[in-house]
């Protein structure tokens, strides 16, 4: 199996267009120690030829341009992108669907909750249908159903498991404040030939025993790396929102209602996986700087920071 990191940043990318924080300003000035990053997406493939997008980033056109694996190969109009699986309905994961309108019928895999937001609130799907055929393949997670197994035509050697996560519906969703299942999933992708497993969760609010079980079984974990610490945005004076408000588990351990909760770094450090990578990194996160003490702490725990264009062969 191939996993190609198309975009390793959270919403806004790095640098973010309107952000003049120290890191964004350095990146904008062309500081070579900092890699610029597009917004969150990964592509997977069983043969390196046909690809499935896991989320459709607003930066998809640049991502296709930058990754020859996704270029057209046939005559006329062509694409090796066979389908799109959405893990939630956040703008940084769905806005790129609009840029796929010139292509063949779009095979879209997502839960009913995500489809509901895309159809009735954001209205991306009805708008897209005026340009191209959209075929929805429901992922039956929601209403108490916490996981589902499915296959995707065009990548027959990969088997997909969707796992309901405690996350947050997007800010525009009427379910933002609710705690339903189906708004956010993780994906466990298994190569049927080798049995190798990839776990992908760019939006993960809490790691409980269920999530930990899937993560322990994976050879490669691509996990929510949005924030280093709980109060990162308030401390930088950029927003009042904490990591918890936004549904992201930070890397540092944190206090929740007086109890210590293990952060993503502690969780990842305890996993047997060969590859432990952080994705969906916010532009405020100090781990973006390879010379930061936070980055060294990750390295000591065997955790890497994913970068755009990184390809992992499992
Ligand atoms: C998130 O990951 O929390 C969202 O993408 C935030 C946003 O859409 O701005
Ligand atoms: Mn996001
Ligand atoms: Zn910034």
Number of domains in the chain: 1
DSSP 96-129: GGGGGTTSS-EEEEE-HHHHHIIIIIS-HHHHHT
Pocket-forming residues, ligand 1, beta carbon under 6 Å: 10-11, 90-92, 170, 203, 246
- Which one of 12, 86, 90 would you pick to mutate in the ligand 1 pocket, going by the greatest count of ligand atoms within 8 A of its CB? 90
Residue with tokens 């990184």: 310
Distance CA 265, CA 304 (A): 10
pLDDT per residue over 191-238, tens digit each? 999 999 999 999 999 999 999 999 999 999 999 999 999 999 999 999
Which of 11, 56, 88, 168 to mutate to test ligand 1, by most ligand atoms within 8 A of the CB atom? 11
Per-residue pLDDT tens digits for 74-86: 989 999 999 999 9
The rounded Å distance from CA 7 to ligand 1 centre is: 14
Distance 10 CA to ligand 3 centre (A): 11
Instruction: Assess whether pLDDT exceeds 90 at residue 144.
Output: no
CB within 8 Å of 267: residues ≥ 6 apart: 207, 212, 215, 223, 249
Give yes or no for a contact between 250 and 232, defined as CB atoms under 8 angstroms apart: yes
Residue 13 CA, ligand 3 centroid: distance in Å: 9
- Rounded to the nearest angstrom, the distance between the alpha carbon of 11 and the centre of ligand 2 is 5
CATH for 117: 3.60.15.10
Place of tokens 């300003």: 25
In this prediction, residue 29 has a pLDDT band, given cuts at 50, 70 and 90, of very high
- Give residue 103's pLDDT: 94
Q: How many CB atoms lie within 10 A of CB 300?
A: 10
Instruction: State which of 7, 92, 184 you would mutate to test the pocket of ligand 1, scoring each by most atoms of that ligand within 8 A of its C-beta.
Output: 92
Give me the pLDDT at residue 52, please.
Answer: 98
Instruction: Label residue 5 by pLDDT band (50, 70, 90).
Output: very high
CA–centroid distance, residue 122 to ligand 1 (Å): 15
pLDDT for 235: 95
Distance 282 CA to ligand 1 centre (A): 9
Closest ligand 1 atom to residue 248 Cα is: 3
Please tell me the pTM assigned to this model: 0.98
Whether the per-residue pLDDT at 180 is higher than 90: the answer is no
pLDDT at 167 over 90: no
Q: What's the 245 CA to ligand 3 centre distance in angstroms?
A: 19
Q: What is the pLDDT of residue 179?
A: 82
Q: Which pLDDT score is estimated for 7?
A: 99
CA-closest residue to ligand 1 atom 3: 246
Shortest-distance atom of ligand 1 to CA 246: 3
Tokens of 55: 């989320």
Please report the atom of ligand 1 found closest to the CA of residue 226.
Answer: 2
**Percent of the chain at pLDDT above 90?**
96
Q: What is the pLDDT of residues 238-269, one digit of tens each?
A: 999 999 999 999 999 999 999 999 999 999 99
**Residue 76: both structure tokens together:** 């006329």
Residue 94 has pLDDT above 90, yes or no: yes
Tell me which residue range forms the domain holding 45. Answer: 2-313
d(CA 3, CA 132): 27
Distance 310 CA to ligand 1 centre (A): 22
270 has a pLDDT exceeding 90: yes
Query: Whose Cα sits closest to atom 6 in ligand 1?
Result: 11
Q: What is the pLDDT of residue 188?
A: 98
Q: Name the average pLDDT for the chain.
A: 97
Instruction: Take atom 7 of ligand 1 and give the residue whose Cα is closest.
Output: 11
What number is the average pLDDT over the span 120-148? 97
């Amino acid at each position: 199996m191939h996993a190609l990191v198309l975009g390793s940043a959270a919403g806004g990318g790095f640098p973010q267009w309107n952000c003049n924080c120290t890191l964004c300003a350095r990146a904008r000035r062309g500081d070579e120690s900092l890699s610029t990053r597009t917004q969150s997406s990964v592509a997977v493939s069983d043969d390196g030829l046909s690809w499935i997008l896991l989320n459709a980033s607003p930066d998809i056109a640049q991502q296709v341009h930058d990754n020859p694996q996704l270029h057209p190969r046939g005559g006329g109009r062509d694409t090796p992108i066979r389908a799109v699986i959405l893990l939630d309905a956040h703008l940084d994961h769905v806005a790129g669907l609009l840029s796929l309108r010139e292509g063949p019928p779009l095979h879209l895999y997502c839960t009913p909750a995500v489809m509901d937001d895309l159809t009735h609130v954001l209205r991306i799907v009805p708008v897209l249908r005026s340009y191209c055929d959209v075929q929805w393949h429901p992922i039956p997670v929601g209403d108490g159903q916490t996981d589902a197994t499915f296959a995707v035509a065009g990548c027959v050697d990969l088997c997909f498991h969707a796992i309901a996560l405690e996350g947050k519906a997007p800010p525009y969703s009427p379910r933002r404040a609710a705690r339903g299942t189906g708004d956010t999933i993780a994906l466990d992708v298994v190569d049927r030939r080798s049995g190798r497993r990839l776990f992908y969760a760019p939006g993960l609010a809490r790691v409980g025993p269920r999530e930990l079980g899937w993560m322990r079984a994976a050879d490669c974990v691509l996990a929510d790396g949005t924030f280093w610490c709980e109060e990162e945005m308030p401390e930088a004076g950029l927003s009042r929102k904490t990591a918890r408000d936004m549904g992201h588990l930070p890397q540092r351990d944190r206090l929740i209602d007086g109890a210590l909760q293990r952060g993503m770094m502690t969780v990842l450090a305890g996993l047997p996986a060969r590859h432990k990578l952080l994705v969906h990194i916010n532009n405020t996160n100090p781990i973006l700087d390879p010379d930061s003490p936070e980055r060294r702490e990750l390295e000591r725990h065997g955790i890497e920071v994913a970068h755009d264009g990184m390809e992992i062969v499992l």
